[in-house]
Amino acid sequence: MQPPPSPSPSPRRRATTRALLRLLFLVALSLAALLAFVTSTPSSASSSPARRALQLVPSHRRQPLTTLRAVRPRDEDEATPTSPVAPRAVGQDHHNSDSSDLDAVLLPDWEVLVLLRPDDDDAPSGNATCAFPGGARSPARPLGRMPASGRRAYTCAMPRPERRHSRPFRAPRLVVATLSSSAADGEDAAPAAAAARSLTPEMMRWSGRLVYDSAAIDGGGTVLVFAKGVNPRQGVNRDAADIRCIYYRRSTDAENGDRDVVASLPATTSAQQVFQCPAPPPSTATAAEAQLRVTLAVAGEDPIPSVATYIPPPTRDTTTTTTTTKKKLICACTMVRDVAKFLREWVVYHAAVGVDRFYLYDNGSGDDLEGQVHQLNAEGFHVSTHAWPWPKTQEAGFSYAAAAHLDSCEWMAFVDVDEFIFSPDWDGSGKPTKSMLRSVVTAVEPDVGQVTLGCKDFGPSGKTKHPKEGVTQGYTLSEAS
Reported as a single tens digit per residue, the pLDDT across 437-471 is 999 999 999 899 999 998 888 888 888 888 888 88
State which of 298, 319, 349 marks the end of a domain: 298
Question: Within this chain, do residues 223 and 196 fall inside the same structural domain, yes or no?
Answer: no
Domain presence at residue 292: yes
Question: Within this chain, do residues 353 and 460 fall inside the same structural domain, yes or no?
Answer: yes
Question: Within this chain, do residues 153 and 188 fall inside the same structural domain, yes or no?
Answer: yes
Helix (H) or strand (E) holding 226, with range, is strand 222-228
- The angle at the Cα of 154, spanning 151 to 157, to the nearest 5 degrees, equals 150
Question: Within this chain, do residues 354 and 294 fall inside the same structural domain, yes or no?
Answer: no
> In the chain, count of helices (H) and strands (E)?
9, 20
Domain presence at residue 168: yes
State which of 183, 204, 225 marks the end of a domain: 204
Question: Within this chain, do residues 55 and 158 fall inside the same structural domain, yes or no?
Answer: yes
Question: Within this chain, do residues 199 and 242 fall inside the same structural domain, yes or no?
Answer: no
Question: What's the pLDDT score for residue 330?
Answer: 96
Question: What's the pLDDT score for residue 320?
Answer: 53
Question: What's the pLDDT score for residue 60?
Answer: 32
Residues of 185-221 as b/e, b for ≥16 C-beta within 10 angstroms? bbbebbebbebbbeebbebbebeebbbbbbbbbeebe
Question: Within this chain, do residues 198 and 214 fall inside the same structural domain, yes or no?
Answer: no
User: Residue 334, class by beta-carbon neighbours within 10 Å (0-12 exposed, 13-18 middle, 19+ buried)?
Assistant: buried
Which positions ≥6 away from 127 have C-beta within 8 Å? 70, 71, 72, 139, 176, 177
Question: Within this chain, do residues 67 and 164 fall inside the same structural domain, yes or no?
Answer: yes
Question: What's the pLDDT score for residue 75?
Answer: 38
Question: Within this chain, do residues 375 and 464 fall inside the same structural domain, yes or no?
Answer: yes
CA of residue 438 relative to chain centroid, distance: 37
Instruction: Tell me how crowded residue 432 is: count the other CB atoms within 10 A of its CB.
Output: 17
Domain presence at residue 470: yes
Distance set, CA 478 to CA 279, 345, 461 (Å): 49, 19, 8
Domain presence at residue 306: no
> Which residues in the chain land under pLDDT 70?
1-13, 26-101, 121-126, 177-199, 252-258, 284-290, 315-324, 480-481
Domain presence at residue 55: yes
Question: Within this chain, do residues 348 and 459 fall inside the same structural domain, yes or no?
Answer: yes
Question: Within this chain, do residues 67 and 171 fall inside the same structural domain, yes or no?
Answer: yes
Number of structural domains found in the chain:
3
Domain presence at residue 319: no
Instruction: Tell me how crowded residue 145 is: count the other CB atoms within 10 A of its CB.
Output: 16
Q: State the pTM of this model.
A: 0.74
Question: Within this chain, do residues 60 and 197 fall inside the same structural domain, yes or no?
Answer: yes
State which of 298, 313, 342 marks the end of a domain: 298
pLDDT digits (tens, 9 = 90+) for 390-415: 999 999 999 999 999 999 999 999 99
Domain presence at residue 200: yes
Domain presence at residue 156: yes
Cβ atoms of 149 and 118 within 8 Å: the answer is: yes
Domain interval for residue 224 = 210-298
